[in-house]
Amino acid sequence: MIIRKAVIHDVDAIFDLIDLYSKDDLLLPRTQLSLYENIQCIRVAEMDDQIVAAGSLHVLGRDLAEIRSLVVDKKVKGLGIGRSIVHSLIEEADKLGVENVFAMTYQVDFFKKCGFHIVDKEQLPQKIWKDCINCPKFLNCDETALLMKVADYKKSISLH
Ligand SMILES: CC(C)(COP(=O)(O)OP(=O)(O)OC[C@H]1O[C@@H](n2cnc3c(N)ncnc32)[C@H](O)[C@@H]1OP(=O)(O)O)[C@@H](O)C(=O)NCCC(=O)NCCS
């Protein structure tokens, strides 16, 4: 399995993975156009020439980036691929000089296992004023915000 930056030819496979889970309301749907527009933000996992997972990193400000559209093919869940994508996105944040990475999610225990901790959404004003305010669930948001400091991630890998 390799984790690499996405290229244009991956978009259909990424779209299909996101589509599957967004139908179950587990994550927001993405159009193919939005995937093309954000192709530089997306990482994929490839196994036997197939795209089996994807996730993207969106910079929201000087010190904050968000992990979005994290998906792992049901056939290969539980093999550590989701965590590998998350770690590769945090490494990308580090290269860019962004200090904090967060996710808004229903997968709280998964993100905790990846080293994130729960934060109050009010600690993420860039997210609230950019995206949440336009979301129909704004006043009844049932997703949890989890954050990881890039410095803590680097500390944790240096201990292994
Ligand atoms: C959540 C998801 C990305 C996890 O991917 P995965 O490749 O199966 O996860 P990993 O194998 O890397 O798991 C890492 C750790 O988290 C745990 N874990 C994985 N999914 C979990 C879950 N739903 N609840 C609790 N723990 C979970 C694993 O057991 C593993 O723990 P370990 O370190 O003790 O072995 C994947 O199930 C998925 O695509 N879900 C649907 C889409 C979604 O909700 N995405 C999140 C949007 S923000």
pLDDT digits over 17-35, tens only?
A: 999 999 888 888 999 999 9
Q: For residue 149, how far is its CA from the centre of ligand 1 (angstroms)?
A: 20
The DSSP code sequence of 59-120 is EEETTEEEEEEEEE-GGGTTSSHHHHHHHHHHHHHHHHT--EEEEEES-HHHHHHTT-EE--
Percent of the chain with pLDDT over 70: 100
> Would you state the pLDDT for residue 128?
77
Which range is least confidently modeled, 2-6, 98-102, 130-134?
130-134
Q: List residues near ligand 1 (CB under 6 A).
A: 21, 26-27, 70-72, 77-83, 103, 105-107, 109-110, 113
Residue partners of 129: CB distance under 8 A and separation at least 6: none
Residue 52: strand, helix, or coil: strand
Q: For residue 82, how far is its CA from the centre of ligand 1 (angstroms)?
A: 6
For ligand 1, atom 48, the nearest C-alpha belongs to 105
Please state, in angstroms and as integers, the Cα–Cα distance from residue 84 to each residue in 1, 91, 108, 116, 143, following that order: 10, 10, 17, 14, 22
Q: For residue 91, how far is its CA from the centre of ligand 1 (angstroms)?
A: 19
> Candidates 1.20.200.10, 3.40.80.10, 3.40.630.30, 3.40.640.10; correct CATH number of 2-159?
3.40.630.30
Can you give the length of the chain in residues?
160
The pTM of this model reads 0.95
Nearest atom (ligand 1) to Cα of 67: 48
Q: Note the pLDDT tens digit of each residue in 52-82.
A: 999 999 999 999 999 999 999 999 999 999 9
The pair of three-digit structure tokens given for residue 82, joined into one six-digit string: 């989701």
Rounded (5°) CA angle 67-68-70: 95
